[in-house]
Amino acid sequence: MEQLSLFDEAEIAALRNALEPTIEQIQSYQRKKQVGERAELLQSLPHEKQPFQVQDRCCDVCHSELVLVGEEFVRTEVEFIPARVQAIDIYRETFECRTCRKADKPQMKKATTPAPVIQHSLASASSVAWVMYQKFVNSMPLYRQEKEWKSIGLDLSQATMANWI
């Protein structure tokens, strides 16, 4: 039985009289830039200009004051701003009618507040949605979410998150 060679097809397809590239051809090779991909990728992000200023505004030679003649664009960077947690204290105003109070018929009026997502819980709609998104879309188990919540400032237990879900 004859063994097949993996390289037979490549040797047959290759031109035997093909010239090897010269050193000049190899050194002059430049990678083609992808035009417009970066701008297209960043167009939907908000941009913030971050200028860097010269601290010493005196000429090194004659020590006179320097005058601004322009600025130069250097680069664009993408900055990741991690999640943050904040507590929102919900208050409601209470009003009283002083005329009715003087007549011994007190009238009070309180502002309405939206119903909580879960009664007697710290949960807001955004925090419950984030836990569910991480669990069901990103397949992140609750023990890992617990560590993530702790790293951003809230010691939230797996049991609490499971109850929210």
Sign of CA dihedral 137, 138, 140, 144: negative
pLDDT for 8: 60
The confidence score (pLDDT) of residue 97 equals: 85
**Is there a domain that residue 105 lies in?**
yes
Residue 87 covered by a domain: no
What's the number of domains the chain is made of?
Answer: 1
Tell me whether residue 128 is in a domain: yes
Q: What pLDDT is recorded for position 1?
A: 57
Residue type, 53: Q
pTM listed for this prediction: 0.57
Q: Is residue 118 part of a domain?
A: yes
What pLDDT does 76 receive?
83
Residue 29: inside a domain: no
Query: What is the block-wise mean pLDDT of the chain (165 residues), using blocks of 10 residues?
Result: 62 69 72 71 84 84 83 80 84 86 86 89 91 95 94 90 94
